[in-house]
Chain A
Amino acid sequence: DAKTTQPTSMDCAEGRAANLPCNHSTISGNEYVYWYRQIHSQGPQYIIHGLKNNETNEMASLIITEDRKSSTLILPHATLRDTAVYYCIVRGGSNYKLTFGKGTLLTVNP
């Protein structure tokens, strides 16, 4: 699976949109981009995934660039409870393993 690069940490004001970037320049055509988050001491929580089209669900939006080499997870109105480590994971083909990197620690400030 393609390697991903994320900033180590980010800050966001409560009520504002949080935009979390992820680079995956070596992604191949059949690989999906997955986002999970881990709130302190809890199990990872699935957020969203996409292949090439932008995706939206009740939690977030996923914007994937046309060349698919990068993506952005958007939390439209961040709350204090969104403070967590966010993981961008590329997975495809027959690979069922999720490879977690270090992720981005998002801190939402009041």
Chain B
Amino acid sequence: NAGVMQNPRHLVRRRGQEARLRCSPMKGHSHVYWYRQLPEEGLKFMVYLQKENIIDESGMPKERFSAEFPKEGPSILRIQQVVRGDSAAYFCASSPVVRDRAKETQYFGPGTRLLVL
């Protein structure tokens, strides 16, 4: 069973360009989470999605950032008009549907390292 897959693993963009980060959850998982890790900092929750629905985007910046998880295909984290402060590692996690949410385990992908020049 393949793990969570993310691509690209490394992405370089110039200021003002768009960045698209893709995440394919583990087989059978219908919940996707995105976290961001700024240099020398801990991981911070950004957004939680289920198929075709954004459940919680409270950790995502209000402007320039958007996320989707379509019925078919991977989840996409999109950053428009990137700035240097967007340089970070972006991690995706997935989890299965579990009745007791407290026991729901999230499994992480290898991350995408975004560098904005």
Chain A positions near chain B (C-beta within 8 angstroms)? 30-32, 34, 36, 41-46, 49, 91-103
Contacts and interface: CB of A to CB of B under 8 A. Distances in A.
Prevailing SS type, chain A contact patch: loop
Contact of A97 (B45, B109, B110, B111): B45
Interface string B14-50: 0000000000000000010101000000111100100
Interface residues of B, number: 26
B52 interface: no
Contact of B105 (A41, A49, A100): A49
A103 B43 CA distance: 11
B9 to A, nearest CB: 10
A34 B108 CA distance: 14
A104 to B, nearest CB: 12
A94 B30 CA distance: 17
Interface stretch (B64-72, B73-81, B96-104): B96-104
Contacts of B102: 30-32, 91-93, 95
A93 B100 CA distance: 8
* Most B-side CB within 10 Å, residue of A36, A96, A100: A96
